[in-house]
Structure 1
């Protein structure tokens, strides 16, 4: 019975601190209060606090340095990526810069077949997004229709540097779609593009979006730094 109560206490404390970290109350790089202070705050023993901190460390939210304390290592935020990553990050107050890796027409019969499209012509728009004066946080490989008002895209480039704005200007507005998210270690190619080490774990996302009339808007595969992004699923009644 005692072990179960202890486990419940440390899990509740870990969840409370995790909420403060995820909502930004405890920001990346900030030092958590010491074990004595946390024990007093939650009216538990230091052993219970240590168990809670271990749980937070396992979740990648903090790191503990011997003799110095525990520090927040997570600054991920739930983002509405329907806006595009740049605008979604900006809405959260995160300044980013984007480096274009590729903007050219490609033929991809396999992708066209998978999406049920008659044309296998796409524009490849590959970009790396970095924090201003900071590390790379995402690698995005988009495939969009090489048709209609987008035919001269390689010559004129993205509208205001934004793929979302460019698609909207061509009348392509995402109405519905699907997204899949897994986690996997970076291969050598992705690691080199991101300036990271091969084998480092990143989120791997694949999203397909369509207009209300069923036209393809975008197929994008992304590699996302798990310390900067999190998956947010909503379920149940909102009434």
Structure 2
């Protein structure tokens, strides 16, 4: 059997094609997608297949479908390079943000230490919500950084100018290489509350571990990112 004729693969292929056009900027934020009849004719499939493809795009946060009105692009096309942190990456795109610190304290996490291959399970937890100037949350970031000399009084004195990247740099912790994983999924109730969103909304999920050139941990961070605001453009690691 030729699997390219499978209805499931058809709607996934159509979703990938349309997603590519949206991310490439051929379909701008706020623009209306062609109707189901037009899309069905374009791809030579049934309207049910088109509906499944549109549902897929909606789950990815690329479009929003309104009954009786059609589907509209919600992704705004921003490419984010996060090597210097989300605040710098967003600022480079002309997006002003404000950061609300949720948590800054020492924690013990043996499970994380084991996953990262570290002897010490002592970390500082730095949890932040990043919002636009209109109050709309675009990210929730939960960082774990090592409790090294120079950071031992971090809970008492706070981050340097509100920046975790600057705080880490002040003690010589610069990311040289690392790994990052990206997925997507619905927000759980606790995360939705902190972001001011509805439970079940889809967000990008990233998990990143960065290390110095000497192999010391710089940061482990798990982030939830609004897919309607940006996509990820990852460039990471030392230049060859």
Q: TM-score, normalised by structure 1?
A: 0.75
In 1: Cα distance, 2:95 partner to 2:202 partner? 22
Preserved CA contact (<8 Å) 1:23 1:77 = no
How many residue pairs match? The answer is 227
- The residue number in structure 2 matching 1:155 is 156
In 2: Cα distance, 1:223 partner to 1:14 partner? 23
Mapping of residues 204-215 of structure 1, within 5 Å? 204-215=205-216
Mapping of residues 1-239 of structure 1, within 5 Å? 21-23=22-24, 27-30=28-31, 55=53, 58-60=56-58, 61-65=62-66, 70-232=71-233
76-85 vs 125-134, which deviates more? Answer: 76-85
Which stretches in structure 2 are left out of the alignment for 5+ residues? Answer: 6-11, 37-41, 236-240
Preserved CA contact (<8 Å) 2:15 2:56 = no
In 1: Cα distance, 2:50 partner to 2:153 partner? 56
By how many angstroms is 1:30 displaced?
4.5
In 2: Cα distance, 1:110 partner to 1:139 partner? 21
By how many angstroms is 1:201 displaced?
2.0
Deviation digits for residues 122-144 of structure 1 (CA, Å, limit 9, x no counterpart): 11000011122042121110000
Deviation digits for residues 15-69 of structure 1 (CA, Å, limit 9, x no counterpart): 887566435575433456999xxxxxxxx79x99xx9898567423334556656
By how many angstroms is 1:200 displaced?
2.1
In 1: Cα distance, 2:234 partner to 2:92 partner? 19
| Greater relative contact order structure (CA < 8 Å, 6+ sep) | 2
By how many angstroms is 1:72 displaced?
2.2
SS in 1 for 2:83: helix
Deviation digits for residues 56-115 of structure 1 (CA, Å, limit 9, x no counterpart): 674233345566565321125331111111111111112211110001111112211221
Which stretches in structure 1 are left out of the alignment for 5+ residues? Answer: 5-10, 36-43, 235-239
SS in 2 for 1:191: helix
Preserved CA contact (<8 Å) 1:63 1:73 = yes
RMSD: 3.6
Preserved CA contact (<8 Å) 2:15 2:57 = no
In 1: Cα distance, 2:13 partner to 2:56 partner? 15
By how many angstroms is 1:207 displaced?
0.5
In 1: Cα distance, 2:201 partner to 2:17 partner? 28
**Could you say if the C-alpha distance between residues 27 and 164 of structure 1 is closer, same or farther in structure 2, counting changes exceeding 3 Å?**
farther
